[in-house]
Amino acid sequence: MVDAVGVSLLGAGNVGGGVITALAGARERHAGHVGRALELRFALVRDANRDREGIPRDRLTTDIEAILSDPQTQIVVELMGGEQPAFDYITRALTSGRHVVTANKEVMAKRGAELLSTAAAHGVRLLYEASVGGGIPIISPLSRDLLANEITSVTAIINGTTNYMLTAMSKQGADYSEVLAEAQRLGYAEPDPTADVDGIDAAYKLAILCGLAFHVEVLPEDVTRQGISRLTARDILYASELGYTIKLLATGRLVDGELVATVAPTLVASGEPLAKVDGVLNAIQIEADLVGRVVFEGPGAGSAPTASAVLADVLDVARDLVAGRVERPEPARRRVRVRPPEEHRSRFYIRVTVADQAGVLARIAGALGEHEVSIASMIQFEADADERTAELVFTTHLAGGGALSTAIEQIGSMDVVREVGAVLPMTGLGAR
């Protein structure tokens, strides 16, 4: 039994500040949940001379040793972000016998298996609910509530910046550059938006989800990734006319014991639940043998939702400490083969700008057919009357990624083809 549960923070930025405020403002409620008070011991910061609301200045430190040498710190909350020095600090906290709660998607995606092994070896817990989906509870359900299920797929919208941008493109009819500038002005996109718009952030989160859902070892570089920067307002319009909405989907599934993991702008049938997730919201859809389909939806970012997930983990660990329960290790993860893009199978949307002349459609259809890519539908739009070009939009039946790639390369080399635009996977059945 303990008199109070000591908690120290690594980082006191937006999320850390939210955690500090919540700890100070809900002491009695937290104590009621845990059975003991939560005591904020220290916060590791860059500048210990700057006052921070909710914590005395003498509890601020720039030295990690002040936390690791504090006998009353039982839970370390890492909110620094980035791989280093966060990985080293988390490792040192675990090996010192302290439990760790983290919101760090990068370190969990790249080094999570190693850290979980370290935690198990030292009889402590590493919790990371806030690393995926912000305030959406998903790590805990995958770790406990859905453990009796064989999960067959994970499909998610897990980047609020790109979901806001694609929603704006759909509702405003605006192009990529316009909505990016708007998202940056509103604070939804960083000055350098690369991690979001190129799908890097989503790939980190998908790697974490696949590891939990399928009990496999997967790294972010295993994820096949395509960003949204080549999308145009025309793609959004054409998708809508076909009965689809374009979303940046992170998808993981096991096929014959092998992992398929992708992040790509995808045409989602308008009647599907994920097609209706707009703005900065996130959603994660799980398919499993016992429960069928389950969808988790909510705010995927922001200091308050992320602090909510962090504190839920802190309270979980604190209850175990007070009750004297032992750690609960995750199921062992196995290595599986990750299928490369050429072995993926999907339906596809293809937009091609061509010379507006006879015989072009037959040549393109012939190239697709030569590589066993079957056309499901085709729509022709006039692209530029002065330039005498037209825009062709094809959808395909189920096709292999390698066959499609070869066909697209052949089509792109034709003298009548001005541009091969977006080539996007499709999911579900649209209006056509």
DSSP string, 152-209: EEEEEE--HHHHHHHHHHHHH---HHHHHHHHHHTTSS-SS-HHHHTTHHHHHHHHHH
* Residue 417: other Cβ atoms inside 10 A: 19
**Two structure tokens written together for 190:** 């960083």
DSSP string, 313-327: HHHHHHHHHHHTPPP
CB-based contacts of 66, cutoff 8 Å, min separation 6: 42, 44
Tokens 């897990």 correspond to 158
* Residue 325: other Cβ atoms inside 10 A: 11
> Is 105 considered catalytic here?
no
Handedness of CA 71, 77, 80, 84 (dihedral sign): positive
CB-based contacts of 225, cutoff 8 Å, min separation 6: 198, 199, 200, 202, 203, 262, 263, 264
**Two structure tokens written together for 202:** 């989503």
Please give the biggest Cα pair distance in the chain. Answer: 83
**Is 108 in contact with 82 (CB distance < 8 Å)?**
no
Tell me which of 110, 205, 247, 276 is the catalytic residue: 205
- Helices 105-121 and 200-214 sit at what angle, rounded to 10 degrees? 30
Per-residue DSSP letter, 333: P
Q: How far apart are the first and last CA of the chain?
A: 64
Please list the active-site residues. Answer: 205
